[in-house]
Amino acid sequence: MVVIGGDAAGMSAASQARRLKDPGELEIVAFERSHFASYSACGIPYWVGGDVEHREQLIARTPREHRSRGIDLRMRTEAVEIDVPGQRVRSRDLESGAESWTGYDKLVIATGARPVRPALPGIDAAGVHGVQTLDDGQALLDTLAGLEGRRAVVVGAGYIGVEMAEALLKRGFEVTVVNRGEQPMATLDPAMGRLVHEAMEGMGITTVNGAEVTAILTDPEAGAPGASGGPGARVRAVVTEDGEFPADVVVLGIGVEPETGLARAAGLPVGTHGGLLTDLSMRVRGYGDIWAGGDCVEVLDLVSGRERHLPLGTHANKHGQIIGAGVGGGYATFPGAVGTAVSKVCDLEIARTGLLEKQARAVGLRFVSVTVESTSRAGYYPGAAPMTVKMLAERRTGRLLGVQIVGREGAGKRVDIAAVALTAGMTVERMTALDLGYAPPFSPVWDPVLVAARKATAAVAQAG
């Protein structure tokens, strides 16, 4: 068994396979090009923000621990070619430059995703950081430690963007988020994104929407707008069509795309979002001895019936388990996802599952949409905080299509109710009778999700 990529999906697969087969039965080799394996990339913003003190806390299992379990994990080793007919992988030791071929009976591709990094003037300047890997996080922290200025610009207002805005605010920076979209959080419908915008402004995060970055200005060229500094030059400002935003540090949170160059070069099938296509057992379609999982694959969206790219640690871990079971001679499948995600900016919780309005339209669904205001606990109980729930239901059938939630403490994880209901194909009318946990410290007597389901039920009846 050869594993390409030593993070969540790859090392979960290796560990699960090792549980099922001992080293006498199955040899496991894993290649990881970075300095770290098996870490929580999702935790990087909290490490940068200081909630998590030590980098090591983000590491679930060290290379040494993997090796002690009989997994030959080769760090700083990059796979550079897959020879599918020859069942072998060519890898390069990034320290020495030495290359070698390793044969496989079973191959696991877990190459993850890479941050989108637009080809802008100045993008490679010192002080411009992505935050995809622990190496990236360490580089950003090193920059922050040496900075004299306190102005940070975050490019992008998706999950990574808003989480990094919080992190930099906690580090005492004046934070400006420069966002191409109409509102922050393109994973929400605009009116819900507007609530996030307002809350971010209330926290002192300047949020600029509809702003496409055209260049990054650097110091040696001070006063020469749009000019590009070399890698040695230091960032000074972010330029958009509408203006210039001074910056001592810039964090890119524009999104990620599947890292599938190696797999494409080997002729493996990729989908419309650039991710590898697999079957339900996470085998690459058409290949019996090659599996793929994690951020480099596309996932079936159970609500729309379409493939999507959903780069999330929780999917990657599930994929790894399933691949490990398959390689180890067991049986497990990944039926797909419903598009659940949750995040926060300071005390604002943001969650969604299922389809947005535009996503529902794109697959030909007709729907009703309702929005309700409620509170996280009984109104009279201390800490009851307002929350807004938006719900989409199919016309005629009343089937739940999606839920979006913006609120404070206790809001975010309520999305799980809808995630399970979506998975089960429930109608919003059936949801109104759900027997959810109620006590004043936990919920109003009608849980906010039930309030939304009642309104959606009425809207479905009304729409006919």
Catalytic positions are: 42
- Answer for which of 91, 102, 187, 343 binds its own copies (CB under 8 A) is 343
By CB under 8 A, the count of residues binding its own copies is: 66
* Contact pick of 421, 428, 452, 459 for its own copies (by CB under 8 A): 421
Q: Which of residues 8-67 bind its own copies (CB under 8 A)?
A: 8, 40, 42-43, 46, 51-52, 57-58
| Interface with its own copies, residue 318, by CB under 8 A | yes
C-beta of 351: minimal distance to its own copies in Å? 6
Q: Which residue from 6, 339, 407, 448 is in contact with its own copies, where contact means CB under 8 A?
A: 339
CB distance 104 to 88 below 8 Å: yes
Of the residues 375, 388, 423, 427, which one makes contact with its own copies according to CB under 8 A: 423
* Residue whose CB is less far from its own copies, 151 or 309: 309
Binding to its own copies, residues 360-419 (CB under 8 A): 378-382, 410, 412-417, 419
The minimum distance between CB 103 and its own copies, in angstroms, equals 32
334 binds its own copies (CB under 8 A): yes
Residue 335 in contact with its own copies, rule: CB under 8 A: yes
Give the binding range for its own copies (CB under 8 A) out of 71-79, 140-148, 225-233, 444-452.
Answer: 444-452
- Give the shortest CB-102-to-its own copies separation in angstroms: 29
Query: In the complex, which residues of this chain contact its own copies (CB under 8 A)?
Result: 8, 40, 42-43, 46, 51-52, 57-58, 159, 312-315, 317-318, 321, 333-335, 337-344, 349, 351, 353, 378-382, 410, 412-417, 419-421, 423-424, 426, 430, 432-443, 445-447, 454
